[in-house]
Structure 1
């Protein structure tokens, strides 16, 4: 599976490209099909970022990522 830099991930924000991706614990997930990520925004969170640190403040746990496809790994 392909690896992406933070800069490459940032382009998958729903604005610069059609893909809406987020990273969590080193994996990159495609959240494009989720209505909750429409336009690359989910409440106060933005796509194209590593959300590992932000999840601890979320009202859900890491299992929320289980329903999304892993499309790559985040470098470094």
Structure 2
């Protein structure tokens, strides 16, 4: 990811939770992804996971690998 990519704080990420705004964003390993187009993230929830958060520590419990994030556009970096 280029150094010129936009950066967002955890507070800014939390606003993109699919409830306060239409945007559904999640972070993984310092990169923020836009999951808004995913039918599995409707209303900002995916199983027991909530949008607007860093999911790095939660991925170990998922039935998929981090390759799933390649399907979604990168928004910026989490700082």
TM category (shorter chain) comes to: over 0.9
In the TM superposition, residue 18 of structure 1 has moved relative to its aligned partner by 1.1
Q: Does 1:21 align with 2:28?
A: no
Distance in 2, matches of 1:17 and 1:2, equals 19
Deviations 1:16-62 (A, max 9, x none): 11110000000000000000000000000000000000001100000
Runs of 5+ unmatched residues, structure 2: none
Q: Runs of 4+ in structure 1 displaced over 4 angstroms?
A: none
Q: How many residues align?
A: 75
Distance in 2, matches of 1:25 and 1:6, equals 13
SS at match of 1:71: strand
CA RMSD, 1 decimal: 0.4
